[in-house]
Structure 1
Amino acid sequence: MLKEFKEFIARGNVMDLAVGVIIGAAFTAIVKSLVDNIINPLIGIFLGQIDFSSLVFKVGNATFKYGSFINSIINFLIIAFVVFLLVKAINKMMPAKDNSSEETPTPTKEEKYLSEIVEILKKTR
């Protein structure tokens, strides 16, 4: 069972998911700072507004903070891009899996002879 668990953990999809979760969590503060301090001011040059979190609209007593949502989208896109680059680098470093071992092996001469004997015995019965 330990061997199966090791093979399960070593699969590419599990490792990619683990890397994505860890890196995404670790870079949240850095990405938030990047968005707040660099990207938003650049966008603000063109739109005339630097802080999107203050963008709201009200309907009755409800307040919709769509500026914060825009900030969250920018954060997500940056984190997704960083994770993509990381997974791409890890996949380059890991050796390519050899799929030829999964093919059915060609039968040996003994196996061919045994199968012929089995066929002959089936016919004689």
Structure 2
Amino acid sequence: MGGFKKFLFRGNLVDLAVAVVVGAAFGSLVKDFTTSFIAPLISLFGGKPDYTKLSIKISDTTFPYGVFLTSAISFFITAVIVYFIVVLPTAKLIERLDGHKEATERECPQCLSEIPVKARRCRFCTVEVLPTNEAPA
């Protein structure tokens, strides 16, 4: 029973559980955002794409490809709008907030590997390098 308890309280399992819960909440948020704002915006400019009645019949079997086509167009339009309204501004904000942090690594001038800022020797190619606070401007 102790092993099971240890398994349940491992950091990765708890992190995964939190990620699933937050992911589900975020999925609900995106769905509601799409329903509330994006779908009306699409309808406002071009009408709601509806190709559900399109199908092809081979022998006695009907292939309703219009359902897929309608979903694919809606997905593409939604993805484009979410990218430009949510993803791009969020990435810019994160970049702006992280831009003020002091760098902890830099490139080795010889092998271009990442080394600590205050390193005096590259850990990969062993070339001597000046720490950045002693480097010429």
Question: TM (normalized to structure 2)?
Answer: 0.47
Shift of residue 83, structure 1, vs aligned partner: 1.3
Shift of residue 22, structure 1, vs aligned partner: 7.9
User: Does 2:56 correspond to 1:55?
Assistant: no
Matched with 2:45 is 42
Aligned partner letter, 1:55: Y
Structure number with the bigger relative contact order (C-alpha 8 A, sep ≥ 6) is 1
Gaps of 5+ in 2: 1-10, 12-22, 107-114, 122-137
Counterparts of 2:63 and 2:40, CA distance in 1 = 29
Question: Residue by residue, what CA displacement relative to the aligned partner does 1:24-77 show, whole Å, maximum 9, x if unpaired?
Answer: 62223212332321222212xxxxxx121x213211111012122211111111
Q: Structure 1's 83 and 89: CA in aligned 2 closer, same or farther, altered over 3 A?
A: same
Matched pairs, number = 82
Gaps of 5+ in 1: 6-20, 44-49, 108-125
Matched with 1:77 is 80
Question: TM (normalized to structure 1)?
Answer: 0.50
Aligned partner letter, 1:93: L
The structure richer in helix per residue is 1
Larger Rg: 1
Shift of residue 23, structure 1, vs aligned partner: 9.0
Matched with 1:93 is 97
Aligned partner letter, 1:28: K
Counterparts of 1:75 and 1:97, CA distance in 2 = 37
Q: Is the CA contact 1:55–1:67 (under 8 Å) kept in the aligned structure 2? A: yes
CA RMSD, aligned part only?
3.1
Q: Structure 1's 22 and 77: CA in aligned 2 closer, same or farther, altered over 3 A?
A: farther
